[in-house]
Amino acid sequence: MKKENLLTLLILGALVLGVLVGQFLLFDPSLSAEALRSRVDPWRIAGELVFIRPLMMLIIPLVFVSVVSGVTSIGNPQRLGIIGGATALYYVGTTLVAVLLGLSLVNLVNPGSGVAIEQLESAGQRTFESDVQGRLTGRPGDVGGSFLSLLYQMIPDNPLRSAVDREVLGVVVFAILIGLALVMSGEPARPAIKLIDGLFHALMKLVTWIIWLAPIGIVCIVASRVGEKGLAALVGPLSKYVLTVIVGLLIHLLVVLPAILAVFGRTNPYRFLWSLRKVIVTAFSTASSNATLPVTIEECQTSGGCSRRAANFVVPLGATVNMNGTALYEAVAVSFLFQLFGIDLSLTQQLIILITATLAAIGAAGIPGAGLVTMAIVINAVNASLTAVGGEGVEPLPLWTIGIILGVDRILDMCRTVLNVMGDAVGARIITRLAPDEPDERERALG
């Protein structure tokens, strides 16, 4: 058997084994949440040590080196502008489509109607207000605040602090500027470009080593995630909601993105998706676009046929700002909560969801559970519109209601992260047409 096929088999087997261990060996509904947590903790810790932390170790150096290398290989600032513009257009366009798809589905299925709050309480789905408040404190809960925090991240006053705080966006912007400056500096900067290229190859080598740890890491992480809540949480009163999110994510992944890829990327989309199976499984098990980033960059260039120029630039940027899955999820989740409390949303309020869910997804970090937190922005914006239209007497939706969907968020987080990451990969494949690799071009740019 070829090494590549063996690894695929091991990774897919690990996924199945992880679910089985989590459900049948670890999960026990008679145990308290605390007892369950201490039971799954050794698995979670093992998964983090074997797979997640090694991946995280590479994120910041890899983002810096790959973006600088991508920008210097594009060479010409004007060309970079065109590629940047096309990339931004792709990100915003696909995110809006994702939210529209989510809104259409949630209106069609109406998962919140017919579910009584008492039913959720008896199924243990309602979490205490303090649980949710704890997650929300210190985060900007309105559009203006979160936009400002995004701008602050984009213009870091200290790039090293951005690196330490793992604010990938600040590192990407700094790397783009350094890359441009290296190109514009000509001959004296040539050794620095060579050094960056050398480091990039070394980091890619490290990624290929770490991928071999994936099977062990995936068993442990998936077992701990499934073991904590059990799969039964998915078939309770929230099952219609869970299904709406999953169907939406699948339509976007298997119909919308492939159509865009076929038209604009002139690529066989399903072959492309299959070629990135390691990325899909890594995103699913880690629930983090950032942790998956090293694997995405490596696989896009090796199995996915993306150019180095496109992958090195589009994928790191996309990991923080392009989140189709999170956008779709937030639209469905927020609409579901309003439906649950019998609050009808007008077309204007749905438009507010369209805009704020797009912004909230851009603002969400590529880490587990980030989408759940930025959802507060969407709820607050809709609430503001409700009270503006209905006056003081209108009851807004309290933020603690996010606690209702906390129990099923783990699994949905894993699913939406797959779409977040695949959105970036498809973008890289499309941009490859605009920025194919031409080995001697950089030499020419440097004169």
Residues that bind ligand ASP (CB under 6 A): 287-289, 323, 326, 364, 366-371, 413, 416-417, 420
Among 284, 240, 257, 290, smallest CA distance to 106 is for 240
Of 37 and 166, CB closest to ligand ASP: 166
Contact by Cβ (8 Å): 85, 193: no
Of 220 and 287, CB closest to ligand ASP: 287
Question: Token pair 């369209």 is at which residue?
Answer: 354
Q: What minimum distance in Å lies between the beta carbon of 77 and ligand ASP?
A: 30
Of 282 and 288, CB closest to ligand ASP: 288
Residue whose beta carbon is closest to ligand ASP: 371
Cα 108 to Cα 101, 102, 105, distances in angstroms: 11, 10, 5
Of 170 and 371, CB closest to ligand ASP: 371
Of 193 and 370, CB closest to ligand ASP: 370
Please give the Cα distance from 292 to 218 (Å, whole number): 12
Q: What minimum distance in Å lies between the beta carbon of 37 and ligand ASP?
A: 20
Of 87 and 324, CB closest to ligand ASP: 324
Task: Tell me the two tokens of residue 232.
Answer: 């039964």
Q: What minimum distance in Å lies between the beta carbon of 384 and ligand ASP?
A: 23
Q: What minimum distance in Å lies between the beta carbon of 288 and ligand ASP?
A: 4
Q: What minimum distance in Å lies between the beta carbon of 323 and ligand ASP?
A: 6
Among 258, 256, 251, 288, smallest CA distance to 273 is for 258
Q: What minimum distance in Å lies between the beta carbon of 183 and ligand ASP?
A: 31
Q: What minimum distance in Å lies between the beta carbon of 373 and ligand ASP?
A: 8
Q: What minimum distance in Å lies between the beta carbon of 336 and ligand ASP?
A: 16
Of 179 and 316, CB closest to ligand ASP: 316
Of 416 and 429, CB closest to ligand ASP: 416
